[in-house]
Amino acid sequence: MIPRFKPKYDKSDWLAALYPTRGNIPKYERAFAEKFGCKYGAMFAHGRSGIFALLKVWGLENAEVICPAYTCVVVPNAIVMSGNIPVFVDSEKGHFNMSLRGIEEAITEKTRVIIPTHLFGYPMDVSEVEKIRNEAEQKYNHKIYVIQDCAHSYGAKWNGELVTKYGDAAVFGSNISKIINSIFGGMVITNNKDLANRLKTWRNNNTIDKGFRKSLKRLLYFIAVNVAFNKYIYGMVNYLENKGFLDTFVKYYDENVIDLPNDWNHAPSEIEARVGINQLRKYNEIIDNRIENAKNIINKMKDNNDIWMLPFVEGATYSHIVGLVEDRDAWINKYHKLKIQLGTLIEYSIPKMRSFEKYKHFGGKISYKYSKHTINFPV
């Protein structure tokens, strides 16, 4: 069975995980920021922990935060848990990212943050977001922050420039489903030295250091992942997942609850930083291979009238190859017989979830359609 995603681990990652050196967290922060076009980095337990910390460091309370209706639910979870208000914007027609006109429509005097999400690795028009932000700041006479959500878009570029060079900060999730990973963990990068220092101070004052116990758990998880994705074993893992036996490990949300994971405020660990540093070294090879695979899949599907795919996008990093189909289950079952696992990465439109129904949203028909008809191929 070919899995819909698989971490790129080899002997060097095993060495990084097993060899117990210290002082790797600041090294990883510097290397990560430099790799993706910024000067400073701050590591967190999760990407959503980084969003939470940014909103706290900026002193925001009951502020409106604009984010996509079609995105990972962990983003609005972090917004609400920080004491702020998500405002949802529908997807752009013919694209998976948030509508630019929708952002303009959603901005009010209470808007303090915009979170452009480069979903599936497709870059948003960051220069247009900057223009919208600047005009709104002049109109309302206060600062509006921009956080680039790059969980799917390590190294994505708009018009040849890294999207992470725009806005006030960029946030990454770094679990095993991402392009590169640190087993678990997240990162905030920025060109603002004061912001980076404040984030680290906030983290040091508001997180719990689990020390050796957390590192041991991460090592055991790393070993389990390597076993689970073994080509002789993954078919059984996929069977157990389909039967719901692995929900504890793979289901990351409850649509009736707004929350953060139990370890959201745990300090990052050395093993995560060591693996992260090693993954960074392999980034160019991983992304080149990924883009080549994406081109091949897009070319193979271009004459298939039963699926709609975006043509190849320069600057996209293809965390996922996504298509729209009429009967998603039929596609999944067809490819399952070929021993290829298709995925349903985001199978919800957030304003339609019970826990978020009370929040404002601008449009939603497109994101709802995507939630019912997208599939993703292994890259």
The verdict on domain 1-369 having CATH code 3.90.850.10 is no
CB 344 within 8 A of CB 5: no
Q: Which pLDDT value is given to residue 248?
A: 62
Q: Which pLDDT value is given to residue 255?
A: 79
DSSP readout, 114-136? E--B-GGGPPP-HHHHHHHHHHH
Contacts of 334 (CB under 8 A, 6+ apart): none
Q: Which 8-state DSSP code applies to residue 3? A: -
Q: Mind listing the pLDDT tens digit for each residue in 142-152?
A: 999 999 999 99
Q: Which pLDDT value is given to residue 189?
A: 98
Edge to edge, the sheet with strand 169-173 lists 40-44, 186-190, 169-173, 145-149, 111-114, 64-68, 85-89, 361-362
* Model confidence band, residue 241 (pLDDT cutoffs 50, 70, 90): confident
Using the Cα atoms of residue 282, residue 283, residue 285 and residue 290 in order, give the sign of their dihedral. positive
Distance CA 153, CA 163 (A): 9
89-93, 189-193, 240-244: least confidently modelled range: 240-244
Q: Mind listing the pLDDT tens digit for each residue in 74-105?
A: 999 999 999 999 999 999 999 999 999 999 99
CB 98 within 8 A of CB 68: yes
* Model confidence band, residue 350 (pLDDT cutoffs 50, 70, 90): very high
Neighbours of 305 (CB within 10 A): 5
pLDDT of 291 > 90? The answer is yes
DSSP 3-state of 68: strand
pLDDT of 327 > 80? The answer is yes
Q: Which pLDDT value is given to residue 245?
A: 67
Q: Which two tokens stand for residue 299?
A: 């070319």
Q: Please provide the average confidence, as pLDDT, over all residues in the chain.
A: 95
Q: Which pLDDT value is given to residue 237?
A: 85
* Model confidence band, residue 306 (pLDDT cutoffs 50, 70, 90): very high
Q: Which long-range contacts (CB under 8 A, 24 or more apart) does 32-36 make?
A: 32/172, 32/187, 32/189, 32/276, 32/280, 33/189, 33/190, 35/155, 35/280, 35/283, 36/150, 36/154, 36/155, 36/162, 36/164, 36/170, 36/172, 36/189
Distance CA 70, CA 97 (A): 8
Domain boundaries, the chain: 1-369
| Residue among 219, 327, 334 at smallest CA distance from 272 | 219
- At 188, give phi and psi (nearest 5°): -115, 130
* Model confidence band, residue 226 (pLDDT cutoffs 50, 70, 90): very high
Distance CA 106, CA 89 (A): 7
N- to C-terminal Cα separation, the chain: 14
* Model confidence band, residue 249 (pLDDT cutoffs 50, 70, 90): low
CA atoms within 13 A on the CB side of 32: 35
Q: Which pLDDT value is given to residue 296?
A: 96
Distance CA 127, CA 158 (A): 8
Q: Above pLDDT 70, what percent of the chain?
A: 98
| Residue among 349, 337, 293, 351 at smallest CA distance from 318 | 293
Q: Which two tokens stand for residue 188?
A: 């905030």
91-105, 204-218, 227-241: least confidently modelled range: 227-241
Q: Which two tokens stand for residue 362?
A: 């601008």
* Model confidence band, residue 138 (pLDDT cutoffs 50, 70, 90): very high
Across 54-72, average pLDDT: 98
1-15, 155-169, 240-254, 326-340: least confidently modelled range: 240-254
Across 268-276, average pLDDT: 98
Quick one: which H or E segment has residue 264? Answer: none
* Model confidence band, residue 251 (pLDDT cutoffs 50, 70, 90): low
Radius of gyration of the chain (CA): 20
Q: Which pLDDT value is given to residue 85?
A: 98
Kindly give the residue spans of alpha helices, DSSP state H, lying in the chain: 11-18, 24-35, 47-57, 74-81, 100-106, 126-140, 193-206, 211-228, 234-242, 247-250, 270-281, 283-301, 328-337, 365-373
